Structure 1
């Protein structure tokens, strides 16, 4: 496995954002119903109000979920440390500066940035530019 990165500049310089295929929807269900959908979910998170599932758009439509916010996923391929500081802030700030909302999910190996479907290509371009600036040693 590649080296885990903790330094902010190094995480941004090595993030290598990749826009994945597929369109996803964040859904919330009762805990007892969630268990039957785990295998289909890209992500799962337990909250007091219910279980959040990140489901493929087509499956969410079939199940009758609200699909008004379809999202695309950009994977940051850097192996960011769970205790690394600044990657999420740098990414969210770069996107916010261009009025692109994002939902960042940090997993064990990588961070996953979900953005509205119609803004995905622009978001990818912004993150690639952020990475180039970080590689050039420009202060983030």
Structure 2
């Protein structure tokens, strides 16, 4: 999986328009969710190219993090998956992910 921890925290907000530095946007019936540099969440990107059709990767990740008591929001891009975990637990998340990826944080 080769998880990569990004240096800056991110936030999730509902906005009318995404700022230029937005990482991702999700349009829902209730409004536009924007993920951008902010507070509260660490972004961990999986450096391997993942397939949108892959079965079980998200389940393995969320199960491993859940067992460690770490909440996780997964955003899938075309090439990579991005995990958002609570900022204070980011290093714990990297350690937990190492147990299933064989990588060391």
TM over 0.5: yes
User: Residue 104 of structure 1 aligns to a residue in which SS?
Assistant: strand
TM-score, normalised to structure 1's length?
0.70
1:26 counterpart (7, 12, 19): 12
Higher relative CO (Cα under 8 Å, sequence separation at least 6) belongs to 1
Considering only aligned residues, what root-mean-square deviation do their CA atoms show, in Å? 1.3
Specify which structure has the higher proportion of helix: 1
Alignment of 1:1-140 (within 5 A): 15-29=1-15, 33-35=16-18, 37=19, 39-57=20-38, 70-132=40-102
Q: What do the CA deviations read for 1:52-77 (whole angstroms, capped 9, x no partner)?
A: 001111xxxxxxxxx5xx00000011
Aligned counterparts of 1:115 and 1:76: Cα–Cα separation in 2:
13
Q: Deviation above 2 Å: which 4+ runs of structure 1? A: none
TM-score, normalised to structure 2's length?
0.93
Segments of structure 2 that go 5 or more residues without pairing to the other structure are: none
| Matched positions, count | 103
Segments of structure 1 that go 5 or more residues without pairing to the other structure are: 1-14, 58-66, 134-140
Which structure has the bigger radius of gyration?
A: 1
